[in-house]
Chains A and B, each alone.
Chain A
């Protein structure tokens, strides 16, 4: 692998790193795209610093109202921002690799996979864990993202609407975008944006 060419080697390593990291995330995302968040926060934001927490929330929001699977959209976003088109493709392929392997094995050998008692017990435990991890992530992100009462208002409205109405999340995301345009304080919009970014960056750097 051309040890002499340091930059190329580090480029290749970065792509491999992207692929493997997202394979790890794919293997531990249990129960749909949202379950990816706690692991994403740990692996991408805390350990590797590839994205900030507010960026990840942006990606989720975009992933929600664009076509395709949210987890795939988020993987592509992070990979692409990190290492271009190849990065986006490899991050996404990494994310789906464990799924393809596991599901293929199950489809061939374990027709009644979901009915095995061992599997059911394991997943009852995992689900209890995953809901804690997701809600903990929401609490942590909330402290940083819900900076004023307008944000809290939007948060509560969307939470309630998602829990108690059968409407599509796409609609909530679009309405929230409109609400942002109407509600965002005019006084110092740029400054708050910068403050938020540097604040998040600083906290991630130290922790």
Chain B
């Protein structure tokens, strides 16, 4: 029965967490308080692991919490619970959109949504850049401006930018290469 409950708890999270993986956090805190499946410290660890593994953060968190609670099957069930509402909702929305795609109102709405979508993606990219290229914690302690910048990472980022523009290749290639460079040069 715990499996059913696991599914249901994550189904609810998937249904009400609007705005991506980090929006699942409050639900996880709530779940930890009500069920005792994991502690709040474990949620912090969870977030660290989720951010440094492939995959969407919300999915990683649900798998991790599920495995923690009920082993391999728990991880699968929790993740299925989380994605179920998405699949249902998106299929409905996709059908509704198809029906109204010629409507002027829908076209006008998307006229506004596209740049907004791009703005949000840009903000997310800059957010990653801040974490990747700046050492804000060191800077806050020392106050020396030169220590704010993580030079090695900035050089790597600039190199990737120019090589990527020139040579193309799949982004996956650059991600793997960057991981190798990170390990070799101890970034």
Contacts and interface: CB of A to CB of B under 8 A. Distances in A.
Given A128-B153, A137-B121, A107 B187 contact: no
Given A129-B157, A131-B125, A154-B119, A123 B52 contact: yes
B121 A37 contact: yes
A151 to B, nearest CB: 4
Interface stretch (B1-9, B28-36, B88-96, B138-146): B88-96
Contact of A98 (B54, B129, B172, B186): B54
Given A125-B179, A138-B122, A168-B19, A67 B67 contact: no
A202 interface: no
Contacts of A72: 56, 58-59, 82-83, 86-87
Interface stretch (A1-9, A11-19, A24-32): A24-32
Contact of A68 (B14, B153, B156): B14
- The winner among A66, A114, A131 for most chain B CB atoms within 10 A is A131
Contacts of B148: none
Interface in B90-106: 90-91, 93-94, 104-105
A24 B55 CA distance: 10
B110 A58 contact: yes
A206 B58 CA distance: 36
Query: 10 closest A-B pairs (Cβ-Cβ)?
Result: A180-B112, A125-B182, A158-B119, A176-B116, A68-B86, A99-B55, A129-B178, A134-B125, A162-B123, A127-B132
A181 B113 contact: no
Interface string B73-90: 001100100110111011
B156 A125 contact: yes
Contact of A64 (B90, B117, B127): B117
Contact of A81 (B86, B94, B115): B94
A172 B110 CA distance: 13
Interface in A19-62: 24, 26-39, 42-43, 54, 57-58, 60-62
28 contacts: A33-B56, A34-B128, A39-B171, A57-B117, A58-B110, A61-B110, A67-B14, A68-B17, A70-B19, A72-B58, A92-B83, A92-B87, A106-B49, A125-B183, A127-B131, A128-B154, A130-B178, A131-B133, A134-B125, A137-B125, A146-B118, A152-B115, A157-B119, A173-B116, A177-B116, A181-B108, A184-B112, A189-B108
Given A88-B91, A98-B55, A123-B182, A130 B121 contact: no
B121 A88 contact: no
A180 B108 contact: yes
Interface string A88-123: 110010011011101110111000011001111111
Contacts of A96: 55-56, 59, 63, 79, 83
Nearest to B51: A31
Contacts of B110: 58, 61, 180
Contacts of B76: 100
Contacts of B156: 125, 128-129
Given A69-B17, A128-B187, 10 more contacts: A58-B117, A69-B83, A72-B86, A99-B54, A122-B179, A124-B150, A133-B160, A168-B19, A170-B19, A173-B116
A130 B170 contact: no
Contact of A32 (B21, B83, B108, B123): B21
Nearest to B156: A128
B22 to A, nearest CB: 8
A177 B88 CA distance: 23
B164 A136 contact: yes
A69 B121 contact: no
Contact of A61 (B59, B90, B117, B183): B117
